Amino acid sequence: MRVFKFGGASVKDAEGIKNVYDVLQKVGYEDVLLIVSAMGKTTNALELVIKNYFDKSPELSSAVQEVKKYHNQIVMDLFEDEKNAVFAAVNSQFSDLEYFLANNKSPNYNFVYDQIVSFGELISTTILSHFMTFMGIQTQWLDVRNFIKTDANYRDAEVDWELTQKNISKNIKSKILNITQGFLGSDENNFTTTLGREGSDYTAAIFAYCLNAESVTIWKDVPGVMNADPRYFENASLLNQISYREAIELAFYGASVIHPKTLQPLQKKEIPLYVKSFINPLLKGTSVAKGVDLEPHLSCFIVKKNQLLISLSSIDFSFIMEENISEIFALFHRFKLKVNLIQNSAISFSVCVEDKFNNFNELNAILSKKFKVDFEENVTLYTIRHFNDTAAHTVEENKVVLLKQVSRETMQVVTKEI
C-alpha cells in the first residue's frame, strides 16, 4: 500500500479537490491510503471559533457561520445536485460542532481546542470522499480516531503504538482508495486528541509504519524539499535526494516541509518518503531514503520567526551548574516552551525558545525569583546546515546578531531586524 498525504493548500477550494482527483488519475489510486488536512486556513478559522467561545463573544455564531459558508461554497462548486448525500453529511458535521459548543462543560482549553479544531479534517475528508465516489472511484472513508490511539495530552498527544498497530492492521482494506484525516487521534475515553500542529505528515508515517507501506508521498505546492524557504531566500534549490539522517537533522531544526516526528517511524522500517508537487505530479521531487551518500552538499537554510531569546544570570554571581540547568529545563517542560538553541557560560544561560502556548509570563514570574531574567521578543533564529562564509553573510547582513553558535556542520544565529 502507498500512503499519500495532501495538506490544506492542496484542498483549499473546489479546484484543489478536482486536482487531487487528477493527481490520482496520473499516479494511480488502487491500494492507496489518503491522509488529508483541513481545507485552506480552516484550522485558523476554527481557532477563532475557540477564542470567541472562551471569550463568550457574541461573534461566536458568526465565526461558526464563516467556516460553514466556506465549506458549503466548495460543496456547491463540486456537486450540482443538492440531493447528493454530501450535503447531509457536511451538515451533520456542523451540527455536531454546534452541539459541542452548546453543551460542553469542560473549562480545559487544550481539551476544547482538540474537540473543535478536529472538525476541519473531518469535514474536508467527508467532502473529498464523496467527490471521489461521485467521480467513480470506490472509496472507504475512515475515522482516524478509531485507529490512532493516544494519551490525553491534548494538542500534543503521544501515540499508543501497540493499540494503534492492532487497530490499523485489523481494519484497513486494501485494493481500494482509503481516505482518512491527518493530525487527529483519540484517547482511552474516545475524546479527540491532536498530534501537534502540522501533524498530518506524522499521521501518514504512523499508518505507513503499521501497514509496512511501500512508500509515503507528501504532496506540496513546491517541487520538493528545497535548501531554503523561497519566501525568504532567492534562488532556493531543490534537493533531489537526501538521507533519513539529513532529513531528520533538517526537521529537528525546523524545516517546514517535513514534520519532525515523521521520519523516525519511516527510518525504522526503511520506508521511502517522497516530497512531490501536486501541481506537477509526474516530476520526481525529493526522495528521502537510506544512504549516507544521499546527503546534500548545498548549504540548507531554516528560518524560525517569532522566537523568544531568554538570558538568565545568577543574582549573586554564583555559577550556573547542572542542578540549575536541570531545574530550568524542568520549568520549560512544565510550561511547554520548545527550546531551539542553548548557550551557557559560567554565570549565564541563554536559550532561544518558541512559546506557542503563551506561557512565558507565568514562567518568568517563577524564574525571576532565582535569576536575573533578560528577554528579547520577536527574534528570528536562522539555522544553516553545511554552512560556509557566504551562507553566514546571507543571514547576518543588515541584522543585529544577538547570539551565534557554530558546530562542525551547523551554524545557528539569533537576529533582530535593524
Buried b (16+ CB within 10 A) or exposed e, 219-235: bbebbbbbbbeeeeeee
Instruction: Report how far residue 42's alpha carbon sits from residue 46's, in angstroms, rounded to the nearest whole number.
Output: 6
Which of 379, 369, 319 lies closest to 349, judged by CA?
319
Strands ordered across the beta sheet of 32-36: 139-141, 177-181, 32-36, 2-6, 215-220, 273-277, 286-289, 241-243
Note whether 195 and 164 are within 8 A (CB): no
Task: Consult the annotation and say whether 231 binds a ligand.
Answer: yes
Instruction: Report how far residue 373's alpha carbon sits from residue 367's, in angstroms, rounded to the nearest whole number.
Output: 7
Lookup: cell for 193: 486528541
Which of 157, 155, 130, 156 lies closest to 141, judged by CA?
130
Which of 234, 230, 227, 226 lies closest to 397, judged by CA?
234
Kindly give, in sequence order, each residue whose CB lies less than 8 Å from that of residue 407, ignoring residues fewer than 6 positions away: none
Which of 96, 192, 89 lies closest to 148, judged by CA?
192
Instruction: Report how far residue 224's alpha carbon sits from residue 257's, in angstroms, rounded to the nearest whole number.
Output: 8
Q: Which residues pair with 416 in a beta bridge?
A: 400
**DSSP code at position 8:** G
Q: Which residues are annotated as a binding site for ATP?
A: 231
Which amino acids are annotated as binding site, given as ranges?
231
